[in-house]
Amino acid sequence: MRKARYINANGKLLDLSTPCVMGILNATPDSFYAGSRMQTEAQIARRVEQMAQEGAGIMDVGAYSSRPGAADVSAKDEMERLRTALGVVRRLQPDAIVSVDTFRADVARMCVEEYGAAIINDISGGELDKDMFATVARLQVPYVLMHMQGTPQDMQQRPHYDSLLEDVFLYFARKVQQLRDLGVKDIILDPGFGFGKTLEHNYELLAHLEDFRIFELPLLAGVSRKSMIYRLLDTTPAEALNGTTVVHSICLLKGADILRVHDVRQAVEAVKIIMKMNEKGKGNVL
């Protein structure tokens, strides 16, 4: 049996004893996977309804593309995009658990206070906005702490580690302590696949994903349609669904609690299959 894990999302306990699928809604014109770009209200509405119908437990809304080399987006533009997207989500799915993908403290505060966002998903681990940790602590919302080397503009130029796993573990240990000292109660770890990592780095993280259980915190895996899949298979993001499902299954077997995905239905199916196998297995430790 998997160990029971819960996060407090807007006063509701989200049970992660069954892994949760976090569906991606990109209110951007330039995300790396063209199929995920939703800009008009009609496009956003279709995506929201699709994710709800297919079983997304969390809807992750972002308005700043973090693909390698992405152009910078002003805080004003990010807020305007998020207001449009979050307004649609709240109108169509008022009870949805919403995560906001932002590294800016003022954007996070606006999304929580004005639109009831339940989770802040920060690719920078507080590195790109020194006020983020204190803001999350004041808002008392769960926080996705991700590891990234560099920034979206330069992270893939020459990523290097003396010891990848040691560096990432020490990073998490330091950041988790900082968040705990500020009173942040719900912390979710994301190793940051594709963020300042080579193809080899990504598969080293995948091979050791279960080692992150030492922190005894929920673990998020964000691998959907990323270059670690399509470059290895010599395809494109659009052709990477099958490879993504394979990697999602591996992540689940290694203890991932949340899958951040473009393709909700396929990820939900992977969760169901892995959970049924675990139910029938003996001595399962997840």
**Cβ(188)–Cβ(218) under 8 Å?**
yes
CATH code (residue 240): 3.20.20.20
Q: What average pLDDT does this structure show over 43-59?
A: 96
Span 22-28, average pLDDT: 91
* Structure confidence at residue 164 (pLDDT): 95
Inter-residue contact 221 to 205 (CB < 8 Å): no
pLDDT 10s digits, 241-263: 999 999 999 999 999 999 999 99
Q: How many domains does the chain have?
A: 1
260 has catalytic annotation: yes
Residue holding tokens 């993280």? 205
> Is residue 9, in this structure, part of any structural domain at all?
no
Q: Contact at 8 Å (CB) between 67 and 31?
A: yes
Coil, helix or strand at residue 146: strand
Provide the percentage of residues in the chain whose pLDDT is more than 90. 79
283 — pLDDT class (breaks 50, 70, 90): very low
Domain that holds residue 83: 21-280
Active site annotation includes 265: no
Residue 32: predicted pLDDT:
46
Catalytic pick among 226, 231, 254, 280: 226
Which residue spans within the chain are E strands per DSSP? 6-9, 12-15, 20-26, 58-62, 98-101, 119-122, 143-146, 187-190, 220-221, 258-261
Weakest mean pLDDT among 8-22, 143-157, 206-220: 143-157
| pLDDT tens by residue, 183-224 | 999 999 999 999 999 999 999 999 999 999 999 999 999 999
Query: What is the pLDDT of the chain when averaged over all its residues?
Result: 91
In a domain? residue 8: no
Catalytic residue among 104, 175, 225, 260: 260
Q: How confident is the model at residue 155 (pLDDT cuts 50, 70, 90)?
A: low
Residue 16 inside a domain? The answer is: no
Weakest mean pLDDT among 150-159, 161-170, 171-180: 150-159
Interacting residues of 46 by C-beta distance below 8 A, sequence separation 6+: 38
Strands (E), 39-194: 58-62, 98-101, 119-122, 143-146, 187-190
Identify whether 13 is part of a domain.
no
pLDDT tens for each residue of 261-276: 999 999 999 999 999 9
